[in-house]
């Protein structure tokens, strides 16, 4: 029997799991670490925390495996995208890593776009516009604001690649994570010399880009000993959290769409060819499958919208949860299900902290629209859940508009556990919604990639097809197509109507 380790270096913590070659989860462990906000809009982490967290979880899973730990054949890595780790020549971390959710770089985004020759040009080179969260703006920020640090930079690493450096002593990145830097020529799969030179970034500081399934070093002896795992086992390239999450959900073929309702929401579709939205509303990144791509839209407040409503209005449900053990969200779902689809004209815009896809607008705010005296808390809960799905449908529509086939939705995340939310996804997107036997997030996909690197599977596709199965499907209710189309059109017309109002309201927030 072979076992494979998958590690996901997330924002709130690291998750490490061990799978058998049939995809069974043998054991898993998590370790949390802090997120620092030294200034408003800043978000940083100490890479040492990632490393210590990783080591802790590796020790834990090795302990659980006992004698079977000797049969671990490979390690795969996944992690939060876009974060920047700056290393000096000695491999020492120069400053805290600047994360994906850090928004200090608004000016740098303008600067980059201008230097490269405009938004269209930039999208032409890298398939994506410069967004505050991405890596290039962070590098430029360092150039401009901490030049003495920038001078010492020998390499820029992404979070999971830094962890690999500590596991193996080797410095590499791979396509799917490199794609999130806006420095990679996503179509031709190499660093964009045009963008690097326009921004005066030396190509030497960028790590060599390999494939997700390439062996990128082996487990160093001293780490192996500390963790209790075999020395010398291959560590794969791995992939960005979204790429690994998609791989782990079997999004390895055209037509399959990932719909993830976690804290945020993601719509992600596999493509065989690189396809770019000329408006840059959805992202085009390299997949964790060699020579494949994916297109992705992200909404900022998916599950967080419902959590916000729960925390403010569902005290009764929380009390009942304490008394009965029935989850407050289940009780809320029950109330929502007692109101009709469309919530009798109540529509929610889930822009509680701005929005990424499709508006890319930090000023956007949440809206309850169409309130009438009949509306109850149940209507409001339904409206929040439907609003999240309307916002996800925005991404689906853009993707459809690009001519990409969209056939089956695979639902993951906390939202996939709610039958009502699954039905809403089926009805509002008018697509079949499948749930899967595994929903372990990116760490599972990372393990599959490592399995390919170690020769356990012949390809990523084979790895996914032999481990990921559909356990349940939810069919769209055709009788609701018209109703939801009408409400979706209304939903779509609300943001343009209010865009300027959001900007004016920003000054009232102070």
Q: Catalytic residues, which ones?
A: 241
Q: Footprint of another protein on residues 38-57 (CB under 8 A)? A: none
* Contact range with another protein by CB under 8 A, out of 79-87, 261-269, 371-379, 396-404: 371-379
Rounded to whole angstroms, the Cα distance separating 219 from 7 reads 14
Torsion angle, CA of 261/262/265/267, rounded to 10 degrees?
-60
Tell me if 311 contacts another protein by CB under 8 A. Answer: yes
Write the DSSP symbol of residue 208: P
Tell me if 326 contacts another protein by CB under 8 A. Answer: no
Q: Footprint of another protein on residues 379-418 (CB under 8 A)? A: 380
- Report in angstroms how near the CB of residue 299 gets to another protein at its nearest: 15
Q: Which is nearer to another protein, 296 or 498 (CB)?
A: 498
Q: Footprint of another protein on residues 475-494 (CB under 8 A)? A: 483, 486-487, 490, 493-494
User: Which of 370, 413, 415, 441 touches another protein by CB under 8 A?
Assistant: 370
Tell me if 323 contacts another protein by CB under 8 A. Answer: no
Q: How many CB atoms lie within 10 A of CB 496?
A: 9
User: Which of 256, 375, 382, 422 touches another protein by CB under 8 A?
Assistant: 375
Q: Are 430 and 476 in contact (CB under 8 A)?
A: yes
Q: Footprint of another protein on residues 97-156 (CB under 8 A)? A: none
* Contact range with another protein by CB under 8 A, out of 82-90, 115-123, 187-195, 497-505: 497-505
Rounded to whole angstroms, the Cα distance separating 289 from 127 reads 18
Sort strands 190-191 and 234-236 into parallel, antiparallel or unpaired: unpaired
Q: How many CB atoms lie within 10 A of CB 6?
A: 32
The footprint of another protein on this chain (CB under 8 A) covers a number of residues equal to 43
Q: Are 294 and 269 in contact (CB under 8 A)?
A: yes
Q: Which is nearer to another protein, 171 or 367 (CB)?
A: 367
Q: Provide CB contacts within 8 A for 88, sequence distance 6+.
A: 94, 152, 153, 154
Q: Which is nearer to another protein, 1 or 508 (CB)?
A: 508
Q: How far does Cα 404 stand from its chain's mean position? A: 20
- Report in angstroms how near the CB of residue 510 gets to another protein at its nearest: 8
User: Which of 52, 263, 271, 376 touches another protein by CB under 8 A?
Assistant: 376
Rounded to whole angstroms, the Cα distance separating 438 from 466 reads 12
Q: Which is nearer to another protein, 212 or 424 (CB)?
A: 424
- How many CA atoms lie within 13 Å of 29's alpha carbon, on the beta-carbon side? 15
Q: Footprint of another protein on residues 270-309 (CB under 8 A)? A: 304, 308
User: Which of 13, 91, 262, 345 touches another protein by CB under 8 A?
Assistant: 345
- Separation in Å, CA 298 to CA 27, 119, 284, 319, 509: 30, 20, 12, 33, 25
Tell me if 508 contacts another protein by CB under 8 A. Answer: yes
**Dihedral angle sign, alpha carbons of residues 472, 448, 101, 47:** positive
- Report in angstroms how near the CB of residue 124 gets to another protein at its nearest: 35
Tell me if 32 contacts another protein by CB under 8 A. Answer: no
Cis before 57? omega within 30: no
Q: Are 202 and 143 in contact (CB under 8 A)?
A: no
Q: Are 414 and 261 in contact (CB under 8 A)?
A: yes
User: Which of 22, 90, 312, 403 touches another protein by CB under 8 A?
Assistant: 312
Q: Which is nearer to another protein, 366 or 419 (CB)?
A: 366
Tell me if 470 contacts another protein by CB under 8 A. Answer: no
User: Which of 200, 272, 313, 338 touches another protein by CB under 8 A?
Assistant: 313
Write out 101-166 in H/E/C secondary structure. CCCCCHHHHHHHHHHHCCHHHHHHHHCCCCCCCCHHHHHHHHHHHCHHHHHHCCEEECHHHHHHHH
Q: Which is nearer to another protein, 93 or 490 (CB)?
A: 490
Q: How many CB atoms lie within 10 A of CB 406?
A: 17
* Contact range with another protein by CB under 8 A, out of 220-228, 232-240, 245-253, 343-351: 343-351
Tell me if 501 contacts another protein by CB under 8 A. Answer: yes
Tell me if 372 contacts another protein by CB under 8 A. Answer: yes
User: Which of 373, 403, 478, 479 touches another protein by CB under 8 A?
Assistant: 373
Which residues of this chain interact with another protein, rule CB under 8 A? 304, 308, 311-313, 315-316, 342, 344-345, 347, 352-353, 365-373, 375-377, 380, 483, 486-487, 490, 493-494, 497-498, 500-502, 504-509
């Amino acid at each position: 029997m072979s076992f494979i380790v998958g590690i996901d270096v997330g924002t709130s913590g690291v998750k490490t799991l061990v799978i058998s070659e049939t995809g069974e989860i043998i054991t898993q462990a998590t370790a949390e670490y802090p997120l620092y906000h030294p200034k408003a809009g800043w978000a940083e982490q100490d890479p040492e925390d990632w490393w210590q967290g990783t080591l802790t979880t590796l020790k834990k899973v090795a302990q659980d495996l006992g004698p079977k730990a000797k049969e671990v054949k490979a390690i795969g890595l996944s992690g939060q995208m876009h974060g920047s780790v700056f290393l000096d020549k000695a491999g020492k971390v120069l400053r805290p890593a600047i994360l994906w959710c850090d928004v200090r770089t608004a000016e740098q985004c303008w600067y980059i776009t201008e230097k490269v020759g405009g938004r269209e040009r930039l999208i032409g080179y890298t398939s994506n516009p410069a967004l505050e969260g991405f890596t290039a703006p962070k590098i430029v920020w360092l150039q401009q604001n901490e030049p003495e640090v920038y001078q010492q930079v020998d390499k820029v690493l992404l979070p999971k690649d830094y962890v690999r450096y500590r596991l193996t002593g080797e410095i590499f990145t791979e396509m799917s994570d490199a794609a999130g830097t806006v420095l990679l020529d996503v179509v031709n799969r190499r660093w964009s010399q045009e963008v690097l030179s326009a921004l005066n970034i030396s190509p030497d500081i960028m790590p060599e880009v390999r494939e997700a399934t390439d062996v990128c070093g082996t487990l160093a002896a001293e780490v192996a000993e500390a963790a209790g795992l075999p020395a010398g086992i291959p560590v794969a390239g791995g992939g960005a959290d979204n790429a690994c999450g998609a791989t782990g959900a079997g999004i390895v073929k055209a037509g399959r769409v990932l719909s993830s309702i976690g804290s945020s929401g993601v719509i992600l579709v596999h493509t065989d060819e690189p396809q770019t939205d000329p408006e840059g509303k959805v992202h085009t990144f390299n997949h964790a499958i060699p020579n494949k791509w994916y297109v992705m839209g992200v909404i900022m407040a998916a599950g967080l919208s419902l959590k916000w409503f729960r925390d403010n209005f569902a005290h009764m449900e929380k009390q009942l949860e304490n008394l009965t053990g029935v989850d407050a969200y289940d009780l809320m779902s029950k109330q929502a299900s007692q109101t009709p689809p469309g919530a009798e004209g109540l529509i929610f815009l889930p822009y509680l902290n701005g929005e990424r896809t499709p508006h890319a607008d930090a000023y956007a705010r949440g809206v309850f629209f169409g309130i009438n005296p009949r509306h109850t808390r149940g209507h409001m809960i339904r409206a929040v859940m439907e609003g999240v799905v309307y916002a996800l449908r925005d991404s689906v529509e853009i993707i459809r508009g690009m001519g990409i086939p969209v056939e089956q939705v695979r639902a993951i995340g906390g939202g996939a556990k709610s039958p009502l939310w699954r039905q809403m996804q089926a009805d509002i997107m008018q697509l079949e919604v499948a749930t899967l036997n595994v929903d372990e997030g990116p760490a599972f996909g990372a393990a599959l990639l490592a399995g390919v690197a170690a020769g356990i599977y012949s390809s990523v596709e084979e790895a996914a097809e032999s481990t990921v199965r559909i356990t349940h499907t939810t069919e769209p209710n055709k009788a609701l197509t018209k109703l939801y189309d009408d409400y979706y059109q209304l939903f779509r017309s609300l943001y343009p109507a209010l865009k300027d109002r959001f900007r004016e309201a920003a000054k009232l927030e102070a």
